[in-house]
Amino acid sequence: MRSSIVLLLIIITLSFGFGGERLVLQLKDFTKAEVKSGGFSLPSEAAIHIYAIGGGEKKSSFSNRGMYAYGWIINADTREVVWMMDRDNTSRQKQFRECDEIINLNKGGYEVYFSAHGYVGSSIFSNFIINIDRRRDIDSDKKIQRRGFLNWIEELFGEDYYVDWKQQAKKWEISVYVDDSIQDVETFNTPKEFTHVLFKSIQLGENERIRQRFSTSKPMPIRIYALGEKDYSDEFADYGWIIDLKTHKRIWDMEKCRTKPAGGDAKNKKCDAVFPFPEGDFMLYYHTDNSHSFLDWNTAPPTDPFNYGITLIATDEKNIGSFSLTSAAKPARADGEEQNVIVQLVKVGDDETRNTSFTLKEDASVRIYAIGEKGYSRKMADYGWIINAKTREKIWNFDPDKSEHAGGAKKNRLIDEFISLPKGTYTVFYQTDDSHSYDDWNADPPFDLEHYGITIYGGNENFSMNIVERNVKPQETGVVAQIVRVGDSEDRTQAFHLDHTTRIRIYAIGEGLNREMYDYGWIENVKTNEVVWEMTFSMTFHAGGGRKNRSVSTTILLYKGDYTLHYVSDDSHSFKNWNTDPPDDPTMWGITLYIDK
C-alpha cells in the first residue's frame, strides 16, 4: 500500500512541479495525553500528505471498526469530518496500523485530532480491549494506579501489558505535510472559536453540574451546539436543558432535540440547532455522569472532543446586545439565598416520612419544586404530596406523568410547577423508600441533589411572606375524641361524653384487604356495651398509597351519654412502620371524631 502511495506522490510532484514537502503539524507520543489536536489553514485548494501510526484490533468489532488509536481531520468552520483514519486506509505493520496517503482539501481552516483512548492486549485466554485513564500516574514501583482499570486485569497480566502499551503509545502519531510551493499555511489553536459566542461551557469532566442564568431583552434565535452521551440503554447520561424562569417549563431539552451521531462511539450525540427564544429570563443546565468525559474517554471520543459540553451562539451579530448573562443561581435563589421559601423538606434519606404544615392568610400562587425517584412500575418510590389540613383532602401529588428527567439516572424525576391555593392551612409530606436517596444513591444522582425532596416557594417576585405562617401545628377544632399515629399491635381506647344528642363526623384510616379490616376502629356505648358504629371494609375507600390503605369519612347521630372510642392494629403496616406505600394522610392513621357543623 505504501509503495502505491509513494508512486502517487511522485506523479503529483511531477505533474505540479512540487519541489519537496514541509511538515505543517505533528501530534505524537500519547503516553500522557489521550487526545491531542492542532489546527492549520490553507490559503487555497491543496493536496496534503498524511502519515499516521495508530492501533487497531486484529478483528473489527469495536467503534471505528476496531481502531483504538487513530486520527482524523474536521473542517474548523462546519465541525464536520473531512478525513478519518480507519481500517480501509491503513495497513497492519506488526502491532500498529499505518496510514500514508494524500488527500485534497479546499481553502479553509482544518483541525487535526488523534485519540488513543484504549489498548488491546492478549492472554492465553483471550484478547481484550481496555480504557487507559492517564489521570493517575505510575508510582515508584511501576504499578498501575489508574482509576477505572479493573484489578483482575492487572493481577492477570502484571506489568507486561503496561510496558507494551507505553512502547506503542510513544510511537503513535499523525503528521501533516504540504508541498514546499504552498505558502501562507498558518497554524492555530483548537478548537476554533465559533463566531458570536454568547456562552460556552465545554471540555467538561465527570459529575459536572453547570447552571447558568441568562436573559434576552427581545425575541431572538440562538444556535445551541451541544455534545453529550447516551448510555447503552439509550438514555442520556451527559446532556443539557433550558427552562423559562417565568413559567419554570423546560423549553429546550437535549433529550427532545433531534440529535445525531457525534462521531466516535455510537453513544456520542450532538445537537446543533437554532431555537427561537422569546424575551425573558432563562436558566441553562448541563449535567455529566461519572464516566466518559473530556478528562477520560472510556470509548472513542466524539469527533469534536474539545467542544464537549454546550455552547450558545448568536445567529446575527445585531442580537448580541439583546443577550446578557446573569448570576448563576439555584432554583428560586437570588444573590445566593433562598427567597420566599414557604416549606422545605430536602436532603431526604432512605425510609423517611417527613411532614410540616403552613398557613396562607390570603389566596396565593405557589411554586412546587420537587425531586424524587420513579419506581420500576409507573409509581413513584420517593415523592411528596400536599393535603388540606382542615378537610384532610389531598390537593397535590407528585404525578410521574407530569414529571421530567431530573438529570443522572433516568429514574430521577422533577416537577417544577405553579398551583393556586386558597387561604387556609396545608400539610406537606415527603416519603422515601429504602434505597436511592440523598447521600446514598444507588445510581447517578439528580442534577440538583441538594433539593432532593420538596420545596414550596412564593409564586412570583411580588409574593409577600407576610401572608405565610410556617411550621404551624394545624388547629383541629371540634375534636371530640382522637386515636392517631397508631403503631403495630396496639389496642387503644379513649372515653368521651356527650351532653346532648350530637351529629359526629368520623374520619378514620386503617388497613384492609380482601374485604377484611386489620387496622380499624369502632365506637361503643358504655351503658349498653353496644357497638354503635364500626369501620368495615365495605364503607371504606382507597386512602392513597398502597391499595390496602383504607379510609372513611362519614357522619352519624349519637345520643347523650358516655362512649368509648376503640382502635386496634395488627402486627404490620402501621404509622412509621409501613410495609408498602403509606396513605395520603399518614399522621392520621387511626380514628378521629369531630362535632359536625
Under 8 Å between Cβ of 289 and 206: yes
Residue 478: is it exposed, middle or buried by C-beta count within 10 angstroms (0-12/13-18/19+)? exposed
Under 8 Å between Cβ of 560 and 480: no
CA torsion 232-233-239-244 (nearest 10°) is 170
Under 8 Å between Cβ of 545 and 581: yes
Give exposure, 512-532, as e/b (b: 16+ Cβ within 10 Å).
beeeebbbbbbbbbeeeeeee
Under 8 Å between Cβ of 485 and 590: yes
Output the DSSP codes for 163-194: HHHHHHHHH-EEEEEEETT----EEE-SSPPP
CA torsion 276-278-283-287 (nearest 10°) is -20
Under 8 Å between Cβ of 212 and 311: no
Instruction: Write the CB contacts of 546 (distance below 8 Å, at least 6 apart in sequence).
Output: 573, 578, 580, 581, 582, 583
Instruction: Write the CB contacts of 59 (distance below 8 Å, at least 6 apart in sequence).
Output: 66
Instruction: Report how far residue 591's alpha carbon sits from residue 520's, in angstroms, rounded to the nearest whole number.
Output: 8
Secondary structure (3-state) at 101: strand
Instruction: Report how far residue 117's alpha carbon sits from residue 296's, in angstroms, rounded to the nearest whole number.
Output: 8
List strand residue ranges (DSSP E) for 231-363, in order: 236-244, 249-253, 260-261, 268-277, 280-287, 309-314, 323-326, 333-334, 337-338, 341-346, 353-360
- Tell me how long the chain is: 597
- The owner of cell 369519612 is 553
Tell me the CA end-to-end span of the chain in Å, nearest whole number: 97
452 phi, psi to nearest 5 deg: -65, 115
CATH of domain 197-326: 2.60.120
Q: What is the pLDDT of residue 330?
A: 46
Instruction: Write the CB contacts of 229 (distance below 8 Å, at least 6 apart in sequence).
Output: 236, 237, 238, 239, 267, 268, 269, 288, 289, 292
Instruction: Report how far residue 56's alpha carbon sits from residue 69's, in angstroms, rounded to the nearest whole number.
Output: 7
- Identify the CA nearest to 249 among candidates 399, 373, 403, 372: 403
User: Does the domain made of 479-595 have the CATH classification 2.60.120?
Assistant: yes
Q: What tens digit of pLDDT does each residue of 56-67 get?
A: 876 554 445 579
Instruction: Report how far residue 403's alpha carbon sits from residue 156's, in angstroms, rounded to the nearest whole number.
Output: 47
Please state the three-class secondary structure of 37-80 as a single string.
EEEEEECCCEEEEEEEEEEECCCCCCHHHHEEEEEEEEECCCCC
Instruction: Report how far residue 498's alpha carbon sits from residue 481's, in angstroms, rounded to the nearest whole number.
Output: 11
Q: What is the pLDDT of residue 333?
A: 43
Q: What is the pLDDT of residue 159?
A: 64
- Identify the CA nearest to 576 among candidates 485, 494, 514, 510: 485
DSSP-H helix ranges across 222-277: none
- The owner of cell 471540555 is 203
- Identify the CA nearest to 511 among candidates 543, 546, 549, 551: 549
Fold of 334-470: Jelly Rolls (2.60.120)
Q: What is the pLDDT of residue 123?
A: 55
Low-confidence ranges of the chain (pLDDT < 50): 1-18, 61-63, 124, 137-156, 329-336
This prediction's pTM:
0.79
Fold matches, 197-326 and 334-470: yes
Instruction: Report how far residue 14's alpha carbon sits from residue 564's, in angstroms, rounded to the nearest whole number.
Output: 112
The domain spans of the chain are 2-188, 197-326, 334-470, 479-595
